[in-house]
Chain A
Amino acid sequence: MTHQIDRRALVKAILGDRKDIIGISGLGGAGYDLTASRGDHDLNFCLHGSMGGAPLVAMGLAMAQPDRRVVAVLGDGDMLMGIGSLATIMTERPKNLAVLVLDNGYYLETGGQKTAASHGTDLTAMAAAAGFETAKTLTDPNDMADFVKMIQEAPGPIFVCAKISIDKPETVPKTRDGNNMKLRMRKALLGTE
């Protein structure tokens, strides 16, 4: 079955009107989705390398900022690279953390090679096996609103694997300056750089 979820619409629905939520993206297309949802926002931090690291950056933030919602957005290839992070997250179980995997089954950034997700690996089942009590797969666009609300508000840690279409949306301008992203987020959260 062809995956149908619109990645840009999903991320925008989660973060577009919720500028209080901290958004961490993995590398590749996920950073464009996060940036397209609300611009180059102070509470966005987009990794442009460190593949596999986004869920753990989000975990550290969730622990340091327990009153803030933290959402990690990353591709399926990125999640597979850092799959052990799901077990690490379970050692602390931050209630304010949601991990959203945008799963098209391909490494689109490097030319469209199939990931293990295209060969049958079920990332949601892996998250559940790691200990996530809420681990769900989003396949039907009609369920999107319920998933959005869950990712924004339900007690975490939450894992969602969204089966997104293979389309590659237009890129949007965004900073790749890690120091700048760090300083602006610390200023927004802490009042000091």
Chain B
Amino acid sequence: MAGAWLGGERSVLMMQGSGVGNCMNNFGITIAGNFPLLTIITLRGSWGEGNPWMLYQGRTMERMLDLAGFMATVVDDAANVEEAVSVAAQTAFNASGRMAVILSQRVTGAKKFKR
């Protein structure tokens, strides 16, 4: 993401919530270099979750983003996704913000597990 910005391009980091835990150390470059960062995250481990292994990251992800200096918006209605992404992109790229749009499983649908 930082490389794209250095070269004059915009980019978006798309991941499942568990990716936030993996990214924590590398988010440092966005702070040290005041880089813009827009991320769109699908939130496992929340509404309707059927896999207990996902609950840890689902419960802690927003706090991790806060610690890493992000402003986060949770979207739980598909009708609001476009506006949320557009507004977050403006702040990310015009104000060098670290912006996260989190799509709850009310938007993406929760995976169904048999028992």
CB-based contact B9/A182 at 8 Å:
no
CB-based contact A61/B4 at 8 Å:
yes
CB-based contact A50/B8 at 8 Å:
no
What is the minimal beta-carbon distance from B88 to any residue of chain A, in angstroms? 20
CA A52 to CA B23, docked complex, whole Å: 11
* Given A50-B29, A53-B26, CB of A64 within 8 Å of CB of B8: yes
Interface centre among A53, A62, A185, by most B CB within 10 Å? Answer: A53
CB-based contact B32/A49 at 8 Å:
yes
CB-based contact A186/B33 at 8 Å:
no
Interface size class of A (residues with CB under 8 A): 20 to 34
CB-based contact B7/A181 at 8 Å:
no
CB-based contact A57/B25 at 8 Å:
no
Say whether chain B's binding surface is mostly helix, strand, loop, or mixed.
loop
Q: Mark B23-56, 1 if CB is under 8 A from A, else 0.
A: 0011011001111000000000000000000000
| A24 proximal to B (CB < 8 A) | yes
CB-based contact A56/B6 at 8 Å:
no
* Given A60-B1, A60-B11, CB of A178 within 8 Å of CB of B29: yes
Q: Mark A16-54, 1 if CB is under 8 A from B, else 0.
A: 000000001000000000000000000001011111110
Q: Which residue of B lies closest to A57 (CB)?
A: B3
CB-based contact A178/B34 at 8 Å:
yes
Q: Which residues of A contact B5 (CB under 8 A)?
A: 60, 182, 186
Q: Mark B72-115, 1 if CB is under 8 A from A, else 0.
A: 00000000000000000000000000000000000000000000
CA A154 to CA B2, docked complex, whole Å: 25
* Given A53-B26, A60-B1, A60-B11, CB of A48 within 8 Å of CB of B6: no
CA A56 to CA B34, docked complex, whole Å: 17
| A130 proximal to B (CB < 8 A) | no
Choice from B9, B11, B26 contacting A50 with Cβ under 8 Å = B26
CA A60 to CA B9, docked complex, whole Å: 9
CA A56 to CA B11, docked complex, whole Å: 13
Using a CB–CB cutoff of 8 Å, the interface residues on chain B facing chain A are: 1-9, 11, 25-26, 28-29, 32-35
